[in-house]
Amino acid sequence: MKQYNVAVAGATGAVGNEMVKVLEERKFPVKNLTLLASSRSVGKTITFHGEDIGVQELKEDSFKDIDIGLFSPGGSVSLKFAPIAAASGCVVIDNTSAFRMEPDIPLVVPEVNEHAIAQHTKRGIISNPNCSTIQMVVALKPLHDAAKIKRIVVSTYQAVSGTGQKAIKELEGQVLAIYNMKTIEKKVYPHQIAFNCLPHIDSFLDSGYTKEEMKMVNETKKILEDDSIAVTATTVRVPVFYGHSESVNVEFERELTPDMARKLLKKAPGVKLIDDPKKNKYPLAIDAAGKDDTYVGRIRVDDTVKYGLNMWIVADNIRKGAALNAVQIAEALIKKYL
Ligand code: NAP
Ligand code: 3JM
C-alpha cells in the first residue's frame, strides 16, 4: 500500500492532538509524520505509534515533500500557510473557517458529499466544516433525500473543547475555584462558563447573529448543495467538556413520519439512533464523547406545520466535528481522488 508524508499543523492543540490519535487508530498509511505548531511548542513531543515525534515551528518551508497537510492552527494562520502548503504540492485539509465558503474550495462531510473532494485540484485545499454543521448534516442528509427539507431551526449546546485547550482549562479552573470558594478567573470567555450558558459563540455581526450561527446557515446549504433550504440558528456555549448537542426543528416538503425517519437513520452512515425516551434513552454528550458516530433521538412530530419533526443530535465535536472528519476526507482522497 502506498504511504504518504503527512503534516499536522496545530498539532499541540485540542484538534491537532486528536488528529494524531485518529491517524494512529485508523492506521492511516503514514510514511513520515511532521508535527507543526508555534515557536512556543518547539521542544515538545507527541507520541505516534510508540515513537516520540518532536514538534517543529510552522514555517513557509515546512511543506517540502509533504503529501497531505491536516491544518488546525487557527483561521489567520491557515489563511497564510494553507496556500503556501498547497503551492508546494501538498493537499491541505483545513479545519478553520478561513476558506469554507470560497466557491472553488470543497467543503466536505464524507457521508454527505464525498464527491466534492474531486474539486481539490482547483486550489489544493479542502475545507472541513464547522463542528455543529457536520453533525447536523450527517443526520439530516438521509431525511433531506427522502422528503426534501424546507426549513431548519437549530439551537446548539456546544462544549468548551470547541474553543481549544485554554477553554477546557478555564472550565476546570472555574469549577474548582467555585468549589473551594475562591475567585474565578475569566480569560477565554467574557462571562463565567461554569454553571452557566453563554448565547455567544465567535463574534457578533451587525445583524445580531454571531459568526458561528452564520457558519451553520451558510455551510449547511453548501454541503447539502441546496440554497433553497432556509436555516436559522442560535449557538450557545455550555459547561460541557466534550460533545456538542443540538435541538433541531425541521420542516419538510413531503410527509416524513417519526417512524420513517427512524428507519432511514438506522441505516444511515455514521449515525446511531438512540430513541427510547420512556426508558430514558436519548443521546447524551457524555456518552458521545470519544465516539465516532453522530447520535440522534427524541424524534417527534412538530404539528405546528404540515410536515415537521423535532430531534436531538449529539456528536463529539473534536472527533466527528473536526479531527475524525478531516482524516475521513484524507482516507477518501487517497483512495479515490489523488
Ligand atoms: P487550540 O487547542 O488552542 O490549539 C491551537 C493550535 O494552533 C496549537 O497547536 C497552537 O500551537 C497552534 N498555533 C497557534 N498559533 C500558531 C501560529 N502562529 N503558528 C503555528 N501554530 C499556531 O485550538 P483547537 O481547538 O485545536 O482549534 C484550532 C483551530 O481549529 C480553531 O481556531 C478552529 O479554526 C479550528 N477548529 C475547527 C473545528 C471544526 O469544527 N472543524 C473545531 C475546533 C476547532 P501552540 O501550542 O504552539 O500555541
Ligand atoms: C474558531 O465550538 C466552536 O467554537 C467551533 C469551532 C471553532 C471554529 C470553527 O470550526 O468554525 C472554534 C474557533 C473556529 C473557526 O472559525 O475556524
Hey, what's the cell of 201? 459563540
**Does the CB atom of residue 124 touch ligand 1 within 6 A?**
no
pLDDT of 290 reads 98
Atom of ligand 2 nearest to the CA of 98: 17
Residue 85: CB atoms within 10 A of its CB come to: 26
**Does the CB atom of residue 235 touch ligand 1 within 6 A?**
no
DSSP β-ladder status, 244-252 and 4-9: unpaired
Which residues are designated catalytic?
Answer: 131, 244
**Does the CB atom of residue 35 touch ligand 1 within 6 A?**
no
CA–CA separation, 6 vs 295, rounded Å? 30
Residue range 4-129+322-337, CATH number: 3.40.50.720
Global pTM exceeds 0.95: yes
**Does the CB atom of residue 11 touch ligand 1 within 6 A?**
yes
Please identify, in words, the CATH class of the domain defined by 132-317.
Answer: alpha beta
Residues counted in the chain:
338
Contact 37, 15 (CB under 8 A): no
End-to-end CA distance of the chain: 14
pLDDT of 53 reads 98
Question: How far away, in angstroms, is 93 Cα from ligand 2 center?
Answer: 15
Helix (H) or strand (E) holding 24: helix 14-25
Measuring CA to CA, how many Å separate 331 from each of 22, 324, 336? 11, 10, 9
Which residue intervals of the chain bear CATH 3.30.360.10? 132-317
Which residue intervals of the chain bear CATH 3.40.50.720? 4-129+322-337
Give the number of the ligand closest to the Cα of residue 212.
2
Residue 202: CB atoms within 10 A of its CB come to: 17
Helix intervals (H) in 119-164: 131-147
Give the number of the ligand closest to the Cα of residue 129.
1
Residues with CB under 6 A from ligand 2: 75, 96-97, 130-131, 158, 162-163, 201, 215, 317
Residue 53 identity (one-letter amino acid): I
pLDDT of 267 reads 98
Contact 17, 36 (CB under 8 A): no
Give the number of the ligand closest to the Cα of residue 320.
1
Residue 52: CB atoms within 10 A of its CB come to: 9
Contact 191, 214 (CB under 8 A): no
Mean pLDDT per block of 10 residues along the chain (338 residues) reads 97 98 98 98 98 98 98 98 98 98 98 98 98 99 99 99 98 98 98 98 99 99 98 99 99 98 98 98 98 99 98 99 99 97
